[in-house]
Structure 1
Amino acid sequence: MAHDIRVVTEAELRRVIALDAGLVDVIERAFAALSGPGVVMPPVLSMALEEVHGEVDVKTAYLPGFDGFAIKVSPGFFDNPKLGLPSLNGLMILFSAKTGLVEALFLDNGYLTDIRTAAAGAVAARHLAPSQVETAAVLGTGVQARLQIAAAHLERPFGRVLVWGRDLVKAGDCAAELRKILGIEAEVVETVDEAVAHSQLVVTTTPARDPLITAGMLHPGLHITAMGSDQPGKNEVAADALAAADLYVADRVAQCEVAGELAAARARGLMTGLLPELGEVVTGAVPGRSSDDEVTICDLTGTGAQDTAIASHVATLLSGGDIGTLIGT
């Protein structure tokens, strides 16, 4: 029996799906499913290719109730810009959860990963940020810095954003783009301390291996979404800061204790007990923020559940249409 596989390019995907409230809902449902029974999500296959300043992650998850499951390959080669090439690329393969047949191949060059990662930040803000946010801050100046702030703004429409980066020129470019995209005040700050002190919501998006945020920077009414640490050895938030927070939430504890902020804390003998996951907060199994004075931290390493959710959602959006190329097998 003939079977068609839909091949869709990044340009075609950008016509179909973008970072919006609907996508945030999709990723929120993925976290809810991740907290339930029957999930199969193996550890991330991760390779650090230090010789070429690169890394490759492979993620997947089977979620009960979803018609398909995705396998995502995500390379990052960080010297590529010197060659006029993007740092990130990759693809997603969507399989039928019933037959195992390939349903679609999304040649997204990391686009779907970018927006599903940002949407996870929005889910964190939805459940953990203070009810009112006047000023947000972002540490980092790349694609995720822009997307994470745009995502957080969907949930907490703040009027000002502070941008910190090691390169002040790049920080200025990032601030200018956020000002244009969101129509809010955006300014560059020279220190992390300044960024955190004046914000109620902070997103960290850097590849730092030495912590940027310390316990002494925490203040009442602060939420931090830390998403840059997705490989062993990366660390943006100091271990004692995690321990000092009123509430720490992982996207997946098993991942965060290997590659997230939690890894450094556990290495120091901190945060050793049972810890909540974002899906448990989404479903109400574990309380989220209980007052606007609390300090909350969400540790996002990126899960295969998010990839399965966004790939399945895209397949639904494409169903019955003529976007992409059908290849018979």
Structure 2
Amino acid sequence: MDIYKEETIRRHVSLSKEALKQMEDAFRRLNEGGVSQPPVIHVNIPEHNGEADIKTAYIPGFDTFAIKVSAGFFDNPKKGLPSLGGLMLAMDSETGIPRALLQDNGYLTDVRTALAGAIAADQLAVKDISSVGVIGTGLQARLQVEALQLVRSFHEVHVYGRTPENVKKYQQEMEEKYGLSVRLAESAEEVVRGNDLVVTTTPAQEPLIKADWLHDGLHITAMGSDAEQKQELDPEVFSKADVVVGDVTSQVFSIGELQHAKTIVNEDDVTELGQMLSDDASGRANDQQVTVADLTGTGVQDTAIANYALEQIND
């Protein structure tokens, strides 16, 4: 079995148009059927403000399927450690023999998560934007902006975070790395009201966005809720949305934002990302609609990014 460290993986895998196409194909394959994807196994570790998820999926025709363990321990920065981590085990699809251990420390999960956000925005956000609103200042708050540059042209980021020093650090890093103007918001409301494309990237357990703040032409990609205790959106947000999209319908109703909106939205009202990519469902119909994407992360994404990584490393 081959073992690849994070340094090697980073040299070969980045947020690119090629990787974006691979992720789009994975969502299409999920929609077409034949994919075997069990529910997420979630382990909550409250005494250490931590959690771990196990995800996997088999995609017909792929050489390997991935079994991914991802962990989030949100007090780690106080200890000088990253809050997110994990690894992927690539199993041979024909024999079940382990083919490779990808010791990526969560890097591949970070990449595929950012790519999913870009796909959702490409399908649902208005075409003409000048700025992106971001709630949160962590790693995904950075990677989402980088990935969005693959599908939209913009020159400004409007960010809100609870910790002033983290917001200032975010501003400095994003301006230096991407040449973007980063404007600091005093509230989440300011971000939502002032932008047509907003991404939420926090582990919040109480709503950050209220329905009263929504406006014509707004798209929200909610990335943070992937467990029962998490929530970034007021459930009434969904009552004002014209289009609601999820990565996997059953999953967003169990661990995503929609778990809190079951009395407002039915499963039949939710379009899956793969349906739009396969032209089996429409997304935004005009520039006045309000759209929301609830993305929880899927095993099919992990298998797709693991296969892509192995292809790039061994090319």
The TM-score bracket by the shorter chain reads over 0.9
- CA–CA distance in structure 2, aligned partners of residues 26 and 196 of structure 1: 31
Write the mapping of 1:34-53 to structure 2, written as runs, cut at 5 A. 34-53=30-49
Residues 197-233 of structure 1, C-alpha deviations (whole Å, 9 max, x = no match): 1111000001111111111111111111000001102
The Cα shift of 1:273 comes to 4.1
Q: Which amino acid aligns with 2:166?
A: K
1:60–1:308 Cα contact (<8 Å) kept: yes
Select 2:212's aligned residue among 205, 213, 216. 216
1:172–1:187 Cα contact (<8 Å) kept: no
Structure 1 residue 72 corresponds to structure 2 residue 68: yes
Q: Where in structure 1 are there 5+ consecutive unaligned residues?
A: 321-329
The answer for the alignment partner of 2:165 in structure 1 is: 169
Write the mapping of 1:203-242 to structure 2, written as runs, cut at 5 A. 203-242=199-238
- CA–CA distance in structure 1, aligned partners of residues 36 and 186 of structure 2: 44
Q: Where in structure 2 are there 5+ consecutive unaligned residues?
A: none
Select 1:281's aligned residue among 255, 276, 279. 276
2:160–2:167 Cα contact (<8 Å) kept: yes
The Cα shift of 1:58 comes to 0.3
Write the mapping of 1:30-109 to structure 2, written as runs, cut at 5 A. 30-109=26-105
The Cα shift of 1:68 comes to 1.3
- CA–CA distance in structure 2, aligned partners of residues 11 and 192 of structure 1: 36
Write the mapping of 1:147-166 to structure 2, written as runs, cut at 5 A. 147-166=143-162
The Cα shift of 1:319 comes to 2.1
The answer for the alignment partner of 1:271 in structure 2 is: 265
Indicate the SS of the match to 1:243: coil
2:249–2:267 Cα contact (<8 Å) kept: no
The answer for the alignment partner of 2:288 in structure 1 is: 293
Q: CA RMSD in A?
A: 1.0
Select 1:197's aligned residue among 193, 201, 211. 193
- CA–CA distance in structure 1, aligned partners of residues 77 and 231 of structure 2: 24
Select 1:251's aligned residue among 242, 247, 252. 247
The Cα shift of 1:153 comes to 2.0
- CA–CA distance in structure 1, aligned partners of residues 122 and 267 of structure 2: 25
Indicate the SS of the match to 2:140: helix
- CA–CA distance in structure 2, aligned partners of residues 181 and 295 of structure 1: 31
The Cα shift of 1:183 comes to 1.2
For normalisation by structure 2, the TM-score amounts to 0.97
- CA–CA distance in structure 2, aligned partners of residues 149 and 69 of structure 1: 29
Q: Which amino acid aligns with 1:161?
A: V
Residues 237-279 of structure 1, C-alpha deviations (whole Å, 9 max, x = no match): 111111210100001111111111100001xx11024121101
Select 1:129's aligned residue among 116, 125, 129. 125
For normalisation by structure 1, the TM-score amounts to 0.93
Residues 17-53 of structure 1, C-alpha deviations (whole Å, 9 max, x = no match): 1112211111111111111111111000001100111
1:134–1:200 Cα contact (<8 Å) kept: no
Q: Which amino acid aligns with 1:105?
A: L
1:72–1:90 Cα contact (<8 Å) kept: yes
